[in-house]
Structure formats: structure tokens, C-alpha cells
Amino acid sequence: MTDPLFENVYKQALPFWKDLSEDDRDFICRHSVARSCPAGAHLHDGSECSGVFFIRSGSLRVYMMSEAGKDITLYRLYPGDICMLSASCVIQAITFDVFIDAEEDSEYFVIGAPAFAALSEREPKVRIFALETTVSRFSDVMWVMQQILFMSMDKRLAIFLADECARTGSDTLRMTHGQIARYMGSAREVVSRMLKYFSNEGIVEASRKGVRILDKKRLRDLTL
Amino acid sequence: MTDPLFENVYKQALPFWKDLSEDDRDFICRHSVARSCPAGAHLHDGSECSGVFFIRSGSLRVYMMSEAGKDITLYRLYPGDICMLSASCVIQAITFDVFIDAEEDSEYFVIGAPAFAALSEREPKVRIFALETTVSRFSDVMWVMQQILFMSMDKRLAIFLADECARTGSDTLRMTHGQIARYMGSAREVVSRMLKYFSNEGIVEASRKGVRILDKKRLRDLTL
């Protein structure tokens, strides 16, 4: 019998679920495991094929890394999101590696890569879903690239602060300058300098513990 | 009757062609046009949905552009290549725009976007092909991003080539890619790929026997 823990979640979240045979549903549930991890845990290191991640709670950060250990955030995964790049062996056309860490204490399901690959081989709808999920991440990455390559630092930082405040529903970001820099793919000094500039302008109040937004309107103007 | 001009090419190049009905083949051929353009022509400007490009001769450059007009090459298309990003309306998950220019005098076929979209809607194999083509471009873009962000390898290789030429007083390095990689403490594949990139940019001419510097100024710029 299909495990109701996975079944109940997948039937809501996976658009192809209703088109699968009873056997295939059972197959996927049998090859699923529920995991949890503390904030900061490394979940995927690029070279392995860890399986398809299905995020249940918390958040994961997907990033690329240079040989020198410098990293840049590509996108984040939140509850309900599915990660195909952790199972790049499922999709031949993916020839690059990413890294995935937990940003918060997180819970997630993992569907084993060979099981998912086998199903996507025989079910075009599953394969299309996997590919479309990947292509929409391509869109995210192109956006990041645009930010990094073309936008001035003040605009990038303003967008980051505005997005984080919108996401958390708070005016205060409890992050160090170093953390902000890592998220933005920048250097701590650059972020500190720009935050000092924003402070001087009365847009934010920056301390070692975090950043508080004082003037939302001007911050928003900077993002345009 | 299906137009033999397109039919003969598509049946070689499109893996799904043999699985299409006679009617669908005819449908695609009827919605195809043959075009040619001189070097430098702008073929696609990002916001439109120009159709699926199928390159017959010459080469096209796909790039992104900032508001300020700064551009960066994502990849190039050569005879036999297919471009889905010029038909981004066919794939909903693509939410970014690219630009495409001809680098040389080029000939290409264009399959109309609505016709291709209709076919990919009813034929999963076509949709899978379109998505896989797109995902493999994602891989190319990630590679470019890696180079640009971490800026180590192109600079290191440029410095190595410039130093060697200065040392020997010649524009030509008689070294294999493997030898260069060993001197640089890198991998042969990485050096080969970067030399191919330098070649495409017209900076060097790389063959199995060695490397010839074509554009000293650009090579020197890369070392800075």
C-alpha cells in the first residue's frame, strides 16, 4: 500500500501525480525518505546525485562555488518547492554542479534519483515536469546573472533588502554584513561600505547585528 | 506534399521527426521559412517571439544585454544547432530575454512559434526535445557565469600565454593543451575549453600542435 505520508503531499504538489498508475505512485513513495537537518547543514555537494528534493519546511540555498571556495547564491527553495539540480544525473543535459545548504532548520523529502529517472524515462509527463522545473531555475539564474553583471551595487543591495523584508514581513534583517555579502555574491567590504552609505542617507540603520529599514520609500526608489 | 527543402534537413536533425505523423511533418514544413542574413544582422531582440531557429550555415551569437547597452555572450550557434530561446513564448518557464546577432553571413530556417507551440502541446516528444535543448543551454550559461564570477581561469590562462610569448619572443606556443594544463596546475579539459572560448573570441588560434596569439591587445586586457 502507498505510504500516506508521501502520498498526501505528492498528490497536492506534483501535477503529474493523478496521471500515474497505482503501481508508479507506490514505486515513488517506496523510494522516498523523509529527512530533517539543522540550519547550516550541507545537503548536496555538487558531484553526487542526491535525488529529487521536495521541501517541507525551512529553506535551502542553492549556490555555485569556485575552486577557491568563493560562492554565489543562485536561488532559494521554500516549502512546496522541488529541486531537480540535486538530481542532475536524472537530466542528461545538465552538465554543471551546484551546492545546497540548509539556511534554517529544514524538513524535506528525497526521491531517489534512480527511481525518479526510471519513472521519467517511461512517463513523458514526469520528464516534462522535471525539465520544466529545471528551465524555470534557468530563468532564476539568468536573473541573478543580470543582477551581478549589469546592476550597480546600490540597486542590488536595495533590492536584496526590500525582498528580504517583504519575505519575512519585518523591517529588520538579522544578518551580518558578511552574510548579506554571501547572499549577494559580493564582498563584505563592499556591502559594509554601501550600508554605511545607506545609513548616512537615513535609509537604513546598520549595526553589527543587522539592518533596520528606516525609509521604505527611498529604498523602493533605489530598486527601480 | 511536404516541402523537400525542409523535410530533408529536419529528418536528419530533429530526433522526434520519425515519430511525427505525415500531417504534423507537413504542418511544420508549411510553417517554416528559409532566411539568410549578412554578418552583423540583429535577428532577435529579446522581447519578441521570433520562432525556433535552425542554423544552416554561418554562426549566430546569443547574448544578454543591460539597459546601459553592455552585453555578454552566452553561447554561439553553429550549423545544425537549434535555438529555443528565440521562441521563449513556446516554453512558459522561460521568463528572460536574450538577443541574437549573426556573427557571419548566415542561413537559417525559422519554424513559426505558434506552430511549434501547438505541436509541442500535443506531442510530448517535441516538448521534451524543446525543453532538453533549453536545459543544455542552461549548462552553457552556467559555465560562462562560472568563468565571469570567479574570474580565475581565463585570467590565469591569459597570463600564462602572455608570459610564454614574452619569454620565447614568439606568437606561437608549441605546447599541447595537456602540457599547458600541467604548467598551470589545472586540468586538460579546463584548458581546452578555455582555449576554445579564446578561439571563438578571436583572441587565439588553437590547434592540437599549439596556440597562436591573434589579438595581443585583448589577451593583455584579460591579464589585468
- Mutation target among A64, A135, A141, A182 for the B interface, most CBs of B within 10 A: A135
Rounded CA-CA distance A164/A171 in Å is: 9
What residues of chain B lie within 8 A of the CB of A135, using their CB? 91, 93-94, 131, 134-135, 138
Please check whether residue A88 touches B, CB under 8 A: no
pTM above 0.95, yes or no: no
Q: Give the residue among A137, A129, A44 at the shortest CA–CA distance from B141.
A: A137
Distances (CA, A) of B131 to A133, B5, B116, B195: 10, 26, 13, 29
Is A162 in the same domain as A107? no
- pLDDT tens digit at each of 224 positions of chain B: 567 889 999 998 899 999 999 999 999 999 999 999 999 999 998 778 899 999 999 999 998 876 555 677 788 899 999 999 999 888 888 888 899 999 899 999 999 999 999 999 999 999 999 999 999 998 888 877 776 666 556 777 888 888 888 878 889 998 888 888 767 656 677 788 888 889 988 999 988 788 999 998 888 888 77
Rounded CA-CA distance A170/B191 in Å is: 48
Q: What total number of domains does chain A contain?
A: 2
Max mean pLDDT among A3-12, A21-30, A69-78, A211-220 falls in: A21-30
| CB spacing of B149 vs A96 below 8 angstroms | no
What does the mean pLDDT of chain A come to? 87
Domain residues for A120?
Answer: 4-149
pLDDT given for residue A83 in this prediction = 93
Nearest chain B residue to A124 by CA: give it.
B124
The DSSP symbol for A47 reads S
Is B173 in the same domain as B78? no
> Which domain-ending residue is among B95, B120, B148?
B148
Rounded CA-CA distance A126/A36 in Å is: 26
The DSSP symbol for B100 reads E
Please check whether residue B64 touches A, CB under 8 A: yes
pLDDT given for residue A34 in this prediction = 96
- Mutation target among A150, A151, A182, A186 for the B interface, most CBs of B within 10 A: A150
Q: Where are the strands (E) in A88-150, listed by range? A: 99-102, 106-111
Beta carbons within 8 Å of B61's beta carbon, 6+ residues apart: B73, B76, B77, B100, B101, B102, B103
Residue A75, beta-bridge partner list: A62
Is A156 in the same domain as A73? no
Is A212 in the same domain as A108? no
Is A133 in the same domain as A61? yes
**C-alpha distance across the termini of chain B, in Å:** 60
Query: What is the CATH classification number for the domain harbouring A34?
Result: 2.60.120.10
Is A10 in the same domain as A108? yes
Query: What is the strand order of the sheet A82-83 is part of?
Result: A32-37, A106-111, A52-57, A82-83
> Which domain-ending residue is among A114, A149, A184?
A149
Backbone φ and ψ of A128, nearest 5°: -60, -40
Cβ-contact A17, A11 below 8 angstroms: yes
Give the closest of B124, B134, B148 to A138, CB-based: B134
Q: Give the residue among A117, A142, A146 at the shortest CA–CA distance from A130.
A: A117
Q: Give the residue among B18, B52, B30 at the shortest CA–CA distance from B125.
A: B18
> Which domain-ending residue is among B148, B171, B204?
B148
| CB spacing of A136 vs B93 below 8 angstroms | yes
Is B144 in the same domain as B156? no
Is A136 in the same domain as A51? yes
Element (H, E) at B213: strand B211-213
Is A131 in the same domain as A158? no
The DSSP symbol for B71 reads E
Cβ pairs bridging A and B (under 8 Å):
105
Element (H, E) at B205: strand B204-206
Please determine, for the modelled complex, whether the ipTM score is greater than 0.90.
no
Maximal C-alpha separation, chain B:
65
Report whether pLDDT(A149) > 70: no
Nearest chain B residue to A84 by CA: give it.
B135
> What is the band of A66 on the pLDDT scale with cuts at 50, 70, 90?
low
Is A140 in the same domain as A61? yes
pLDDT given for residue A121 in this prediction = 93
Is B53 in the same domain as B105? yes
Cβ-contact A74, A44 below 8 angstroms: no
pLDDT given for residue B186 in this prediction = 63
pLDDT given for residue B66 in this prediction = 63
Handedness of CA A169, A171, A176, A182 (dihedral sign): positive
Query: What is the CATH classification number for the domain harbouring B204?
Result: 1.10.10.10
Q: Give the residue among B169, B151, B161 at the shortest CA–CA distance from B205.
A: B161
Is A181 in the same domain as A97? no
What is the 3 state secondary structure string of B121-176?
Answer: HHCHHHHHHHHHHHHHHHHHHHHHHHHHHHCCHHHHHHHHHHHHHHHHCCCEECCC
